[in-house]
A and B are shown apart, each in its own frame.
Chain A
Amino acid sequence: MKAGIVVFPGTNRERDMVHALKLVSGQTPKMIWHRDTSLGDLDLVVLPGGFSFGDYLRSGAMAAHSPIMREVKAFAEKGGHVLGVCNGFQILTETHLLPGALLRNAGLRFLSQDCHLKVENATSAFTQGWKSGDIFRAPLAHGDGNYTASPETLERLEGEGRVAFRYCAADGQVSDGNRHSNPNGSARSIAGILSENGRVCGLMPHPENLTDPEIGATDGVPLFKGLVEALVG
């Protein structure tokens, strides 16, 4: 799988993503600087986590205007696969490649902890490594992860099966008002969503940090395995 990772000033989880992609696909991803003006020949573009431009204006808002984002948009419009994790998800909503926005966590504090995610739709390239209803663990680490969208948008996401992942308790229980199972207060416990064509995916937690058995667990591997299977067969 030919993957490219976009690096903005302030990106800080690009090395984690390299490690995960290499471990699962066996191929070293290409690093792309935000001022580059072409992506090259890629199967997958990844916008990794971090604090692009310090998140000073609004998380992801400045990065959305970096030169490379024109290329990422064109890539997505042509049907390319784009994964945005954490700050990458925020950038995807700021570029309108995904609907909605990510507000300050409901508790108004940065959160770094393990959460559990329920796979809602296992038909996309990003989720096909799981079965629908599967529950897996992933670390999250963000200050602005509280997903919100208009009621119409939320209905549409649900109706079109575009909710990819939902926060839940270890036993799979989803409870929007419970800070233990829905730590940042996201609308409908939404942790990750898909674009209309199912080829752009954004999520807040970090499956890439749970891919190496030597570090403790492999809960995040199906994301990358599924992508390899879907994109290179």
Chain B
Amino acid sequence: MSVTIDAKLAQSFGLTPAEYDKLLSIMGRTPSFTELGIFSVMWSEHCSYKSSRIHLKTLPTKAPWVIHGPGENAGVVDIGEGLAAVFKMESHNHPSFIEPYQGAATGVGGILRDVFTMGARPVANLNALRFGDPKNPGTRRIVDGVVRGVGGYGNCVGVPTVGGEVNFHKAYDGNPLVNAMTVGVAKQDKIFLSAAAGIGNPVVYVGSKTGRDGIHGATMSSAEFDDEAASKRPTVQVGDPFIEKLLIEACLELMATDAIVAIQDMGAAGLTSSAVEMAGKGGVGIELDLDSVPQREPGMSAYEMMLSESQERMLMVLKPESTEQARAIFEKWELDFAIVGQLTDSGRITIKHNGKVEADIPLAPLADEAPIYNRPTVPLKAPGHIQPPADPVGIEHALLTLIGCPDLASRAWIWNQYDASVGGNTARRPGAADAAIVRVEGTRLGLALTTDCTPRYCQADPKTGAAQAVAEAWRNITATGAKPLAVTDNLNFGNPERPEIMAQFAQAIKGMGEACRALDFPVVSGNVSLYNETRSPSGLAQAILPTPAIGALGVLADASRSIGLSMPADHDLVLIGEIRGELGQSLWLREICHREDGAPPHVDLVAERRNGDFVRGQIEAGLVAACHDIADGGLLVTLAEMVMAGDVGCVLNAPPSNIPLHAFWFGEDQACYVVATKSAQALLAAAEKAHVPARKLGHSGGKELKLADGIALKASRLRDINAAFFPKFMGEDA
């Protein structure tokens, strides 16, 4: 190739002049084109975590039930009975803006591979989606494509999509977020890792053929967008869920034998990162002969093959005596199987193509000397506490507005496009409980699963907002009766080279860390997505709201004893926790007063833990018939959601007189739950003993939500208003 390789070319590959100098000193010579490509993807933000690493190191990652924390393909926790849950959440934001369907679909495919690579059968998918302003004409196309993509992939592979969350905000106009989470189950003694071992062992490529798609995807995800984003469409990968399904079955079949030494999926930066990581972790060398790589089209260069992000591919190190057994399994499933190299004792990655050495890089410095930045931050402005405005519209109007607004409207239009029941183990489907419940096949165990984040809180105060995200995830699991075990995080932020963005990131990590420590809720896996910004033609950069999405997992000893949120008839309703009427950054303030200001609600982690442990205890004691936490929209929205889910009404007592009515009903106070119980008396007595604030709210029954001042709203009317937004927005309300 006649291209001159120099600092300028390196820059166009995303390497800074200083990073290129470091490369030169490692190589001791000018790199080849392929070598430059390998360095640029391995040192991209996406693969190296160079801006986030020093902050991530401060997160708590250990607990007695954690088997593998961050650093593996996914986190692994002990769920009892010799079994482990394997889970992780990962973003596919940049591709989903450029090409919503394929971006979202391959996001699901990628996270599935991270989980079954470890020997786990995927049992549930979740997602966390953020879209732009519904009034922006481009938003509908992106919602449509992303929802079809998530469903198209998940439905075909036969993994139920059981939960998720969706927000709208104009800050996501140019940068929607698609965060996908997969949960799998494996035997604890059959977990597969990626560290290669055994000099001379064969390196085997399985799955789809390699094509020219997705070249430099990781680098694309490490820069902000400009108005030419659409021209990057060729860097988006194309997914094939049918091949993924075959790959899952073939891999799990092979994993039942003892043929595999190490295995790694080819995700971002494809063959490059899988080969480098497997050999690097194992402290060995690796030699690949690209002539053996199954190729979709002729004439591909070494550079193209090493950087391709073609989907549904895995790299394995096998025991030499087992290769024929493995080949037979992959041939049965009609997948490509090729021995493409071997492990060496050189400590280098050596790439051969057409008899020529195209790359020869020492592995240790590629990893150890990867750039790490402690990027500058600036102090963030503390949000001012606001004086809550007087109620301009009244309780009834506000409630109806809130339950119909884009952030609270029924998500059924979305859920109904995702197969939630395949597998036959989904005990609580989306919307039925605060967390989805999936039974572990062959046991009574139930996994409680949720994703949570309130980006507007994070924008106002990243530290409190991130702590709130963790607390809400913990609360949602608790509300089903499950014991929260661990989290996976998906940290979506803007350009880290801007000090105010880096400050948001650093503060959010601090808040998350505090909450995770206080709640014994370690982080076992995660993903960072930076540069979620779009530069307008005028040069102004619009960053997303800081969005540290939390995916969380808990476990129930008996899935059939989980608690849902549907209002049961003839029960007392009790508020657990204290409402002080926090309206700062509330949806009431935004939807009714058209203001996004103030401080987010106070997060008291001691109260959170105390109240949650109390609720879980009452559920375990069999005293709770339904439970729903207070979140977006406040207490009255929580009650309305219970009424809509159960088609059973309630009669509510007069609220306390020391708080403005609208602040009591719509304040987004944390650490609060509404619990339905046969008799409030027993629950209130138990709460007093445990020093947990509790208050009887009313009694369930009838078909109306009735307030003490005479307001009565039919459950069916609430449901109609709640259901209206999505079909109308998507033009399907015929």
Contact = CB atoms under 8 A, between A and B. Distances in A.
Interface of A: 9-10, 12-13, 15-16, 19-20, 49-51, 53-56, 107, 109-113, 139, 141, 143, 206, 208-209, 211-216
Contacts of A111: 416-417
B416 A208 contact: no
B421 interface: yes
Chain A interface, DSSP helix/strand/loop, else mixed: mixed
Nearest to A111: B416
Nearest to B425: A215
A165 to B, nearest CB: 18
Contacts of B152: 110
Contacts of B422: 12-13, 16, 49, 141, 209
24 contacts: A10-B156, A13-B158, A15-B423, A16-B423, A50-B158, A51-B155, A51-B156, A51-B241, A54-B156, A54-B240, A107-B732, A109-B148, A110-B152, A110-B155, A110-B417, A111-B417, A112-B416, A141-B419, A141-B420, A209-B422, A209-B424, A214-B439, A215-B425, A215-B426
Among B156, B421, B439, max chain A CB count under 10 A is at B421
B557 to A, nearest CB: 13
Contacts of B334: 9
Among B241, B420, B422, max chain A CB count under 10 A is at B422
Given A110-B152, A214-B559, A54 B423 contact: no
B439 A12 contact: no
A56 B444 CA distance: 37
B415 to A, nearest CB: 7
Interface in B414-456: 415-427, 439, 441, 444
B110 interface: no
Contact of A214 (B148, B423, B560): B560
Among B243, B245, B333, B439, max chain A CB count under 10 A is at B245
Given A10-B242, A214-B560, A20 B417 contact: no
Nearest to A112: B419
A55 B241 CA distance: 11
Nearest to A14: B158
Interface string B406-420: 000000000111111
B417 A112 contact: yes
Given A13-B424, A141-B419, A214-B559, 16 more contacts: A9-B246, A10-B242, A10-B245, A12-B157, A16-B424, A49-B422, A51-B156, A56-B242, A110-B151, A110-B155, A112-B415, A112-B416, A214-B444, A215-B425, A215-B426, A215-B427
Interface string B72-84: 0000000000000
The 6 A-B pairs at the shortest CB distance, nearest first, are namely A12-B158, A54-B242, A16-B424, A214-B560, A141-B419, A139-B421
A25 to B, nearest CB: 16
B424 A141 contact: no
Contacts of A53: 242
Contacts of B424: 13, 15-16, 19-20, 208-209, 211-212, 215
Interface in B62-96: none
